[in-house]
Amino acid sequence: MARKKIIAGNWKMNMTPSEAVELVNTLKPLVANEEVDVVFCVPAIDIIPVVEAAKGSNIQVGAENMYFEEKGAFTGEISPNMLTDAGVKYVVLGHSERREYFAETSETVNKKMLKAFEHGITPIMCCGETLEQREQGVTMDFIRQQVKVGFLNVTADQAKTAVIAYEPIWAIGTGKTATTEQAEEVCKGIRECIVEIYDEATADAIRIQYGGSVNAKTAPELFAQPDIDGGLVGGASLKPDFGAIVNYNK
Ligand code: PGA
């Protein structure tokens, strides 16, 4: 069975609520491609206005983070119920910026993964190596570790619905996209890791994105690779360019 591509924008810490509504209104007609899943992952404060602005379109809304407890004394955090009640379907977990600046670890990512599944939110779990790791030749060892810990105690049925985003850190926001061969090699390696943890059927179903300076020019070749099922797009998701990325197959 062919996997449906999933192309997600990661707005990061950009767009005030009013700017967010304006951007959704601009992008709505440009991202109308029913052949792919289109997700806007937006700052928490933008979620409600973006869900409202996206009504009647093919845009689904995601969060950029989530806490792993149900509720309580966790000042500043957002719970899974808050997200689902607001209309959120996806959540980005373990982005390298959260790992680097906010002490996110594969262990906390795993707790969040389990919580997301429990609440019917689809996780987009990020993994990716530093330039140093790539140069040392340990890329795949490092990523396998991130994937294995991230998916601890996740059932095969849950894993089938998950999204993994492979994002080499050296390619994020640098304008330096990984080559198609580099991206496909790691995405293929991640799929093989899923076979080892689960089975072929799970690996066939799970969707693996590439992220890191994806733009309208690089998207078609990247997304045509057998193991790349779409992209997680930062900078270019804030521009009309995102329409061209979503319509990479037109
Ligand atoms: P970028 O960001 O497209 O701006 O490189 C990707 C990401 O961090 O998800």
Q: Whose CA is nearest to atom 9 of ligand 1?
A: 234
* Burial of 96 per CB tally in 10 Å (0-12, 13-18, 19+): buried
Which pLDDT score is estimated for 100? 97
Beta bridge pairs of residue 208:
164
The predicted model scores a pTM of 0.98
pLDDT means per 10 residues in the chain (250 residues)?
94 98 98 97 98 98 98 98 98 98 98 98 98 96 98 98 98 90 98 98 98 96 98 97 96
Ligand 1, CB cutoff 6 Å, lining residues: 10, 167, 172-173, 211-214, 232-236
Pair 72, 102: CB distance under 8 Å: no
> DSSP strand E in the chain: where?
5-10, 36-42, 59-63, 90-93, 122-127, 163-166, 207-211, 230-233
Residue 220 to residues 134, 163, 177, 248: CA-CA distances in angstroms?
25, 19, 13, 5
Which pLDDT score is estimated for 1? 65
Structure-token pair, residue 241: 């360019």
Is 167 catalytic? The answer is yes
Question: Of 182, 229, 232, 187, which is closest to residue 212 (Cα–Cα)?
Answer: 232
CA neighbours closer than 13 Å in the CB half-sphere of residue 67: 14
Which pLDDT score is estimated for 59? 98
Rounded to 5 degrees, φ, ψ at 3 are: -80, 140
Is 35 catalytic? The answer is no
Pair 177, 212: CB distance under 8 Å: yes
Which pLDDT score is estimated for 135? 94
Q: Could you say which of 95, 97, 104, 184 is catalytic? A: 95
